[in-house]
């Protein structure tokens, strides 16, 4: 018999195998200082484009004050126990009610983490006779939720309504055979490429097919829609979303998440979400902090306006300088360049060391071979100086990429990787 660990000693996994070249720099970097548009990386000042603090709330003085006061008032333990047993409070309920009202749903329920919450939501919504149809580019938490499903599941091509219809036809036949129902899952905004899920078209398909619709709006909540209620509001179809999900980890700059739906659905989920029933309640400091952040989201529209001013300046600046930013329809700003992984590493090093620009880098296998994706997340804390510095830096790195500088620089890296 084999030692269970044998495979681990041999193969560190698709990302782990790059650890010796990448760790501490390209992955697991330590970005230090107060969360803002400019932070420190390895002792150097950098413009930070890799933090999902869309509205700039993370380090807002009012937020920091409320967080600190809540820490003093409640510590980090309260309340102890799962919601169902001993972890329920008035403030948890108040936050749920305010979130539900904000996203125009009857009720909401708090989740300790978006990831586990989404896994459990999918798990609780379906039984083995049901069929799940979901976008192939869905976030890992959706994929893991689907993995728990004992019944049939189909993926549709990313944001491709024709493919969704084809799969809905298959799912309908299957569900008629098993006697189950259909759950369709999309993201409100796809976090890598920034495209909005085609929620309007998907909701329109309800005329033709019988299904319930779950939307993960992690990146849309707070950034899209007239009031910031997300991609459903932006596309005018919030009512057609049966279960709405968002995390506190992005616009609300905190930890935690929620789902919102009709009262009867939330009443069911609250008794069936295993990751919440058997886990300690969201700590009070986070609940109080989320109430404050939600209040600011509602009452300070200038934060979202500033976010979009920066987003528009960055995206139109990149486009006018001939960069390919794909098909983004949100603040998520991808820049696609052509090059190998070693070239990408040399390029990002140049960007950070010589230009003081810190953004995330995505390469194969997350995106096709030969492509480099630099991902920028604008926030309300950025300013036009940050944008202009970044645009100049991007022009400089593009010309070095094109004249082969990074190929030469990376030759030793490439040799080491072979
Ligand atoms: C689309 C999407 N869904 C869910 C999550 C998970 O949320 P959380 O960080 O609250 O676990 C993330 C990442 O934060 C995300 O980008």
| 12-48+301-417 is classed CATH 3.90.1150.10 | yes
**Model pLDDT, residue 368:** 87
| 61-299 is classed CATH 3.40.640.10 | yes
Ordered by start, the domain boundaries in the chain are 12-48+301-417, 61-299
Give the pair of three-digit tokens for residue 102.
Answer: 């904000």
Determine whether the shortest distance from the Cβ of 257 to ligand 1 is under 6 A: yes
Sheet with 44-48, side-by-side order of all strands:
31-32, 38-41, 44-48, 357-358
Nearest CA to ligand 1 atom 10: 114
Do 61-299 and 12-48+301-417 have the same topology in CATH?
Answer: no
Rounded Cα gap, residues 275 and 317, in angstroms: 44
Q: Can you tell me the mean pLDDT for 133-137? A: 97
Determine whether the shortest distance from the Cβ of 218 to ligand 1 is under 6 A: yes
Nearest CA to ligand 1 atom 7: 114
Given ligand 1 and candidates 218, 250, 275, which is best to mutate, with the most ligand atoms within 8 Å of its CB? 218
Residue 413 has pLDDT above 70, yes or no: no
Tell which phi-psi region holds residue 222, choosing left (phi > 0), alpha (psi between -120 and 50) or beta.
Answer: left
Determine whether the shortest distance from the Cβ of 117 to ligand 1 is under 6 A: no
Cα-to-centroid distance, 174 and ligand 1 (Å)? 31
| Band of pLDDT at residue 418, cut at 50, 70 and 90 | low
Atom of ligand 1 minimally distant from the CA of 116: 11
**Model pLDDT, residue 22:** 85
Query: Taking a C-beta distance cutoff of 8 angstroms, is the pair 414, 75 a contact?
Result: no
pLDDT 10s digits, 378-412: 999 999 999 999 999 999 999 999 999 999 988 86
Determine whether the shortest distance from the Cβ of 141 to ligand 1 is under 6 A: yes
Pairing assessment for the beta strands 212-216 and 243-247 based on DSSP bridges: parallel
Q: Can you tell me the mean pLDDT for 133-144? A: 97
Determine whether the shortest distance from the Cβ of 115 to ligand 1 is under 6 A: yes
Which residues neighbour 4 within 8 Å (Cβ) at sequence distance 6 or greater?
Answer: none
Buried b / exposed e along 377-386 (16+ C-beta atoms within 10 A): bbbbbbeeeb
Q: Can you tell me the mean pLDDT for 188-196? A: 96
Give the count of alpha carbons within 13 A of 310, CB side only. 28
pLDDT 10s digits, 86-104: 999 999 999 999 999 999 9
Residue 416 has pLDDT above 70, yes or no: no
Question: Helix/strand/coil (H, E, C) string of 238-277?
Answer: HHHCCEEEEECCCCCCCCCEEEEECHHHHHHHHCCCHHHH
Other C-beta atoms lying within 10 Å of the C-beta of residue 132 = 23
Rounded Cα gap, residues 380 and 383, in angstroms: 8
pLDDT 10s digits, 328-384: 999 999 999 999 988 999 999 999 999 999 999 988 878 888 999 999 999 999 999
Nearest CA to ligand 1 atom 12: 218
Q: Cis before residue 365, ω within 30 degrees of 0? A: yes
Residue 64 has pLDDT above 70, yes or no: yes
Of all residues in the chain, the percent with pLDDT exceeding 90 is 91
Give the count of alpha carbons within 13 A of 138, CB side only. 27
pLDDT 10s digits, 257-316: 999 999 999 999 999 999 999 999 999 999 999 999 999 999 999 999 999 999 999 999
Cα-to-centroid distance, 113 and ligand 1 (Å)? 8
């Amino acid at each position: 018999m084999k030692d269970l660990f044998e495979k681990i000693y041999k193969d560190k996994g698709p990302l782990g195998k790059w650890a010796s070249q990448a760790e501490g720099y390209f992955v697991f970097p330590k970005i230090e200082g107060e969360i803002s548009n400019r932070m420190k990386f390895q002792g150097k000042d950098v413009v930070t484009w890799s933090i999902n603090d869309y509205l700039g709330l993370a380090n807002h003085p009012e937020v920091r004050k409320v967080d600190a006061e809540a820490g003093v008032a409640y510590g980090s333990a309260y309340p102890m126990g799962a919601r169902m047993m001993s972890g329920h409070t008035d403030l948890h309920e108040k936050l749920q009610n305010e979130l539900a009202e904000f996203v125009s749903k009857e009720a909401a329920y708090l989740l300790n983490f978006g990831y586990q919450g989404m896994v459990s939501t999918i798990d609780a919504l379906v039984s083995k006779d049901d069929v799940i149809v979901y976008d192939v580019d869905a976030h890992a938490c959706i994929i893991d939720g689907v993995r728990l499903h004992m019944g049939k599941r189909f993926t549709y091509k990313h944001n491709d309504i024709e493919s969704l219809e084809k799969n809905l036809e298959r799912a309908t036949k299957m569900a008629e055979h098993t006697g189950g129902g259909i759950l369709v899952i999309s993201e409100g905004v796809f976090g890598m490429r920034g495209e909005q899920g085609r929620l309007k078209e998907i909701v329109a398909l309800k005329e033709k097919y019988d299904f319930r619709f779950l939307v993960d709006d992690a990146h849309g909540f707070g950034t899209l829609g007239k009031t910031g209620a997300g991609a459903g509001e932006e596309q005018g179809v919030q009512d057609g979303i049966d279960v709405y999900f968002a995390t506190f980890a992005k616009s609300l700059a905190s930890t935690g998440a929620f789902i919102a739906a009709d009262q009867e659905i939330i009443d069911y989920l609250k008794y069936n979400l295993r990751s919440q029933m058997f886990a300690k309640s969201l700590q009070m400091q986070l609940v109080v902090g989320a109430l404050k952040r939600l209040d600011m989201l509602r009452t300070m529209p200038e934060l979202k306006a500033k976010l979009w001013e920066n987003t528009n300046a960055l995206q139109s600046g990149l486009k006018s300088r001939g960069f390919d930013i794909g098909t983004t329809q949100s603040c998520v700003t991808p820049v696609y360049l052509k090059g190998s992984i070693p070239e990408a590493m040399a390029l990002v090093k140049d960007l950070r060391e010589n230009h003081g620009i810190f953004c995330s880098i995505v390469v194969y296998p997350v995106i096709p071979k030969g492509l480099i994706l630099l991902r920028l997340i604008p926030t309300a804390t950025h300013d036009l100086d940050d944008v202009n510095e970044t645009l100049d830096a991007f022009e400089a790195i593009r010309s070095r990429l094109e004249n082969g500088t990074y190929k030469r620089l990376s030759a030793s890296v490439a040799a080491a990787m072979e």
